[in-house]
Amino acid sequence: MKAKAEAEAKANHKSRSQRIEEKRMQAMKRRQEEEEESSEDEDETEKRARLRKTEQDADLAHAEDLFGDIGISKHRSAVKPVTIQDTADPTKAFDISSLALFKPQTKDQFLKLRETLVPLISANAKKAHYVLFLQEFTKQIAKDLPSDQIKKIASGLTTLSNEKMKEEKAAEKGGKKSKAAKHKVNLVAARDTSYKADTTAYDDDFGE
């Protein structure tokens, strides 16, 4: 019992780099075992997906071990793969979360992400469920932010709402003016036609 306790204590005093290296070796060994045990009829796509999942799990374990001492939660979930299948060929799939586009770090990278997503999403603005989708979408992507940052986003939306309201009122007022002007032109034209008709009738009577 004493020897076991000493071994455990010694293991607990391993350096962080040693623990990370051990986890890396364990992951490599696990991948090799899985490759050996995998079925011969496993296609290339399934094999890549399995290996990618193993690597992601290993990377997460490394990160948890590396940052565990500075307050990073070990229960924080990893980014889930977002796999898109080819409808024409279900065996073909691609994890779009692996694209560099969806891992922005700099201001320019976030700008590129925005310029890519906005046209794709806003193209559905005329559809019936778009507003409800956008309400829930905005809440979900902002829920991990602190309250002061969420307030900034809400303030930006309020400003946008006020601007749109002014535009709509201006357009409505312009529409009323155009309609009134058109009505006035029609009245003038009608009076001119009536006057000409009266003059013609008078001339005919005078000629007789």
Write down the pLDDT at residue 107: 93
Q: What is the DSSP letter of 77?
A: P
Distances (CA, A) of 69 to 1, 9, 53, 63, 144: 29, 18, 25, 11, 22
Q: Would 114 be classed as within a structural domain?
A: no
Q: Would 188 be classed as within a structural domain?
A: no
State the residue range of the domain holding 63: 1-98
Which stretches of the chain drop beneath a pLDDT of 70? 1-20, 24, 31-32, 34-43, 49-50, 53-79, 176-208
Q: Would 66 be classed as within a structural domain?
A: yes
53 is written with which tokens?
A: 């999942």
79 is written with which tokens?
A: 């980014």
Based on the structure, what is the number of domains in the chain?
A: 1
Write down the pLDDT at residue 95: 80
Write down the pLDDT at residue 69: 43
100 is written with which tokens?
A: 């560099």
Write down the pLDDT at residue 71: 40
Q: pTM (2 decimals)?
A: 0.45
Distance CA 137, CA 143 (A): 10
Nearest to 140 by CA among 150, 129, 126: 150
Which amino acid is located at 28 in the chain? M
Q: Would 72 be classed as within a structural domain?
A: yes
User: Under a CB-based contact definition with an 8 Å cutoff, are residues 65 and 23 in contact?
Assistant: yes
